[in-house]
Amino acid sequence: MTSEKFPAAARVVAARPGFQFNVCSVLVLAMLTPAQSFAVTHTATIHSAAETARVAAYGPAVVGTVTDSAGAPLGSVEVVVTGVNRSTITDDAGKFVIRALPAGTYHLSVLRIGYSGQHVVVVVPADGSDVVVNVVMKRATIRLSSVNVTATPTGTDPLNITQATVQLAGKDLQRSLGASVGQTLSGEPGMATRFNGPVANAPVIRGLTGERVLVLQDGDRAGDLSSAAVDHLNAVDPSQAERLEVIRGPASLLYGNNALGGVVNVITNDIPNTLPARLTGFAFGQGETVTPGGVGNFGLSLPLGQSGVVSARGGYRKFNDMKVGGGATQPNTHGYTANGTIGAALIRDNFSLGVGMRDMEFEYGIPFAPDAEQIRIDGSRRQAVLKSTIGTKNAFLPTVRVDGTAQWYKHSEIEDTGEIGTQFALNTQTLNVTARTKTGRVSGALGVQGYLRQYSPVGDEAFTPAANNRNFALFLYEELPLTRRDNTEHAAQLQFGARLDHFSVQTRPDDADEVERFGNPRTRNFNNISGSLGLSVPITVATSFTANVSRGFRAPTVEELFANGYHVAAGTFDVGNPDLKAEQSTGFEVGLRAQSGRTFGQINTYYNIIDNYVLPRA
């Protein structure tokens, strides 16, 4: 039996402060290149009578055609409207229509594997007339990137982001795809995985993992227990993703608690955010040899009238015991995951509303040492999702986005005798309200976030008390162009923001035995102010220099504060310290990014200090 205690808070430097050198050179497939950003003024001119009739039926729209350099139309091109969670795909004639955008300025990212991506700025006028966009894409055999919607609330060209980021999409994502989010990202610069079997592993960013790296699904917390212990899986299958976005380094400004090391956002778009012209679908399959097995996924999207859409997706992953050296296998590492989603959306002028339900079932084993117990874990996660965007017709607050989730997670740790040692139940609710702001040349977002968590371990081997968490936050983020140019896409930018957080942990022992083990009910409150200041300076159209300083925090968990028992699946005896302080981080980072027709490179140097660092010890 291993004894672990959480010591009094100490000052440490996380992930060895110093120098990190990351260069991504020519790989395969496609990468977003900066190409040329340009403003498109509004016009009511449509190229054909058929297109005119189509737009007339749908209402005011952004209508476009995508062609290659020879003028041939390009189908299956993804067109993403950043900041409002909208996207569409071009048809076989290279045409696309995006409806129900409120008046304002938008940044489009035009992406297709094998072609250099394009950035386009469009202005949707208040008079209801249409916008016509013609985009020419050039062939490129490079890695895909795209506008990043995780690092900033406005959606930003990767060249202008002041923190190091990673993006995986398309064929590049499929090639890197693993059984977990951590495995999928483990080959990226500055990243690794904390491994405990095929699915019970977690991403490591700059040496930090667990409760210091936040995993999101479509911008919302995943609502599982993966960060609490090394034997718990992350309940998001990466095979569901359209793309992955990663912030390497502190991201407390936008995401608060748990984001000291970084953020991983698994973007699935399970809730429809565009209106397809017809029934569309996909199917995907992949096999593995080291962990024998495979995964299969399918999805369908069906338009309903002129403003409705429904979608469904399902997937199943099965894996056998892992192969190890000498042709042997690691016992008790087999299992499966199954997931499904159904979603529906109503998309109209100045308003969209999407709802959906997700379900995931899983069962897997934990690698064990000789003579140790063979523990298997069986569980599920269910999630209800709501996403809405409202156009206000207000110049200062042009759009408001509301995201909410309710999640129900549970799992049982089953011993080799077949008995259940411990059961864990976790219910979470999130609500995020983000308003885009615009004042002259300054644009950004103002947000309110709420997060509630009800945690209940059950069983004689439960090593923590039941507890409730509450987190309420207010943040402001703004971008200020520093040069007087009409086209601010290539202007030096100052990015700044501040955040106020209140976080509480309240234990609720259920009976006298739990009071004896864990003490009387107790509440710990943590209040914090976070902030970030960044600078992006374009050197050329394809090169930029960035610098960032940030301040973040992480409140201690119920395990770190109040644990007192043997965690069978992890093989540790955990004892908490109820007097721990919140961790406080100060991070500094500078970087240089360059993109051209066939290469992408970035160099980042960072220095990260964490005060009150909570470090388990024997």
pLDDT (tens digit per residue) in 222-250: 999 998 888 899 999 999 898 899 998 88
| Among the listed residues 106, 109, 91, 111, the one whose alpha carbon sits nearest the alpha carbon of residue 61 | 106
Cα-flanking dihedrals φ and ψ of residue 174, to 5°?
-60, -40
Mean pLDDT (whole number) for 365-391: 91
Mean pLDDT (whole number) for 553-574: 89
Mean pLDDT (whole number) for 71-87: 83
Torsion over CA: 479, 483, 484, 487 (sign): negative
As given in the structure block, the two tokens for residue 431 are 């609500």
Q: Which segments of 111-166 does DSSP mark as H helices, in order?
A: none
Cα-flanking dihedrals φ and ψ of residue 210, to 5°?
65, -125
| Among the listed residues 464, 391, 389, 451, the one whose alpha carbon sits nearest the alpha carbon of residue 423 | 464
Q: Which residue has the higher pLDDT, 456 or 171?
A: 456
SS3 465: coil
- Give, in degrees to the nearest 5, the angle at Cα 287 between 285 and 290: 155
pLDDT in tens, 281-292: 989 899 988 889
For 508-563, list the strands marked E by DSSP: 523-540, 543-554
pLDDT in tens, 427-458: 999 999 999 999 988 999 999 999 999 999 98
User: Looking at residue 65, what is its pLDDT?
Assistant: 95
Spatial CB neighbours of 204, under 8 Å, sequence gap ≥ 6: 182, 191, 192, 193, 194, 213
Q: Which residue has the higher pLDDT, 343 or 280?
A: 343
- What type of residue sits at position 291? T
Question: Using CA atoms, how far apart are residues 602 and 164, in angstroms rounded to an integer?
Answer: 8
User: Looking at residue 152, what is its pLDDT?
Assistant: 78
SS3 450: strand
Cα-flanking dihedrals φ and ψ of residue 128, to 5°?
85, 5
User: Looking at residue 34, what is its pLDDT?
Assistant: 32
Residue 378 near residue 411, CB atoms below 8 Å: yes
SS3 579: coil
Question: Using CA atoms, how far apart are residues 10 and 614, in angstroms rounded to an integer?
Answer: 7
Percent of the chain beyond pLDDT 90? 49
pLDDT at 13 over 50: no
Q: pLDDT band at 424, cuts 50/70/90? A: very high
SS3 181: helix
Question: Using CA atoms, how far apart are residues 195 and 232, in angstroms rounded to an integer?
Answer: 11
- Report the mean per-residue pLDDT for the chain: 84
Residue 366 near residue 376, CB atoms below 8 Å: yes
Lowest mean pLDDT among 80-84, 91-95, 273-277: 80-84
Q: pLDDT band at 27, cuts 50/70/90? A: very low
SS3 541: coil
Residue 342 near residue 382, CB atoms below 8 Å: no
Cα–Cα distances in angstroms (integers) from residue 545 to residues 47, 131, 330, in the given order: 41, 33, 47
Mean pLDDT (whole number) for 541-566: 92
pLDDT at 345 over 50: yes
